Amino acid sequence: MSFMHAALALTVILIWGLNFVFIKIALVDVPPLMLCFIRFFLTSLPAIFFLKFPKTPVRRVIRYGIVMFAIQFSLLFFGMSLGISAGLASLLIQMQVFFGILMGMLFFDEKLHYTEIIGGLISLSGIMLIANHLGEALNIAGFLFVISAALCSGMGNVIAKKIGKVNMLSLVVWSSLAAWPPLLVLCLFMEGPKELYFTFTHLSLQGSIAILYITYLSTLFAYWGWNYLLHHYHLSKVVPFGLLVPIIGMLSSSLMLDEVIESWKIYAAMLVILGLLVYQFGPKILKKYHIKND
């Protein structure tokens, strides 16, 4: 990978790692459903007037928008609004990798090798360590919301695989258009038009900056950059950069939000990231040394 492309990859990962901090900042001013609605409304408009509809059936774009955007991010925002820190959210959402693997086995008859199973179990032990602190340091409902968001992300990846190779930026924009109308209906029903009006008229400067960051940097730019890299390199060259997201998420939440990183959070993060490393690189290492991995 060239220096410029590596710099782009690191920029995208930095944006995604910091994104959890900006979500936390935005949630101070904006309720979860409303924040989700605003994000995808701004992502889709006016961008749809400049991007062609992706070359795939409309129902798949709608399905992707509802599952990957509307449901996943509503759950994530609800979880974080209930007290899950930006750092922990960035770590828990990584379970999307293993939910995606399980769904790949169910829907695409993909097989797991023992190194991948070992990696999954190591990461699961890190999640269990986090779960062990539910009630004393974590909100149980918030934890379940974020884990459910990771499950939706895994489902979204299955839908994306069925969509196939399309312009990713176009898919993001048009699926965002599918996501925000039901979010608006839910927002008006659950939070009310008065809350919507109050939020827009009392939005702070920090909240406005956070929304712009979440929309234009984390969604439009970062997805474009990631898609650009995936079109130029094999997955194995690009995907490992994603391992840095929870590290950046936890460090930035500590530095910018003064969130305390207890020792158990560090141990949990090490286990989850170690598991991801074993899953990602284990088969390649065994292949390099001609060791059977079945």
Q: Which pair of structure tokens corresponds to residue 204? A: 């702070």
Please give the pLDDT value at position 94.
79
Report in angstroms the alpha-carbon separations of 54 from 37, 61, 182, 233. Answer: 22, 8, 21, 21
Q: Which pair of structure tokens corresponds to residue 236? A: 């194995």
Q: Which pair of structure tokens corresponds to residue 109? A: 């008859």
Please give the pLDDT value at position 58.
93
Q: Is 45 helix (H, G, I), strand (E, B) or coil?
A: coil
Per the CB < 8 A criterion, the answer to whether 186 and 73 are in contact is no
CA-CA distance, 156 to 40, in Å (whole number)? 16
Runs of H (alpha helix) within the chain: 3-29, 32-44, 58-64, 72-81, 86-92, 96-108, 114-131, 140-163, 168-190, 193-201, 205-212, 222-232, 235-238, 245-257, 263-288
Report in angstroms the alpha-carbon separations of 197 from 115, 177, 202, 226. Answer: 53, 22, 9, 35
The residues facing 134 across adjacent strands are 138
Query: Can you give the residue ranges of every domain in the chain?
Result: 3-288
CA-CA distance, 57 to 176, in Å (whole number)? 15
Please give the pLDDT value at position 166.
81
Q: Is 24 helix (H, G, I), strand (E, B) or coil?
A: helix
CA-CA distance, 54 to 283, in Å (whole number)? 34
Please list the rounded mean pLDDT of every run of 10 residues in the chain (294 residues): 83 91 93 93 92 91 93 94 87 79 69 74 81 71 91 82 80 93 91 81 90 92 79 64 80 86 81 79 67 56
CA-CA distance, 162 to 112, in Å (whole number)? 20
Please give the pLDDT value at position 75.
95
Q: How far is CA 136 from the centre of its chain?
A: 26
CA-CA distance, 77 to 72, in Å (whole number)? 9
Per the CB < 8 A criterion, the answer to whether 24 and 214 are in contact is no
Q: Is 95 helix (H, G, I), strand (E, B) or coil?
A: helix
pTM: 0.84
Q: What is the torsional sign of CA 98, 99, 103, 106? A: positive
Q: Is 138 helix (H, G, I), strand (E, B) or coil?
A: strand
Please give the pLDDT value at position 119.
79
Angle at 34 (CA atoms; ends 54, 147), nearest 5 degrees: 75
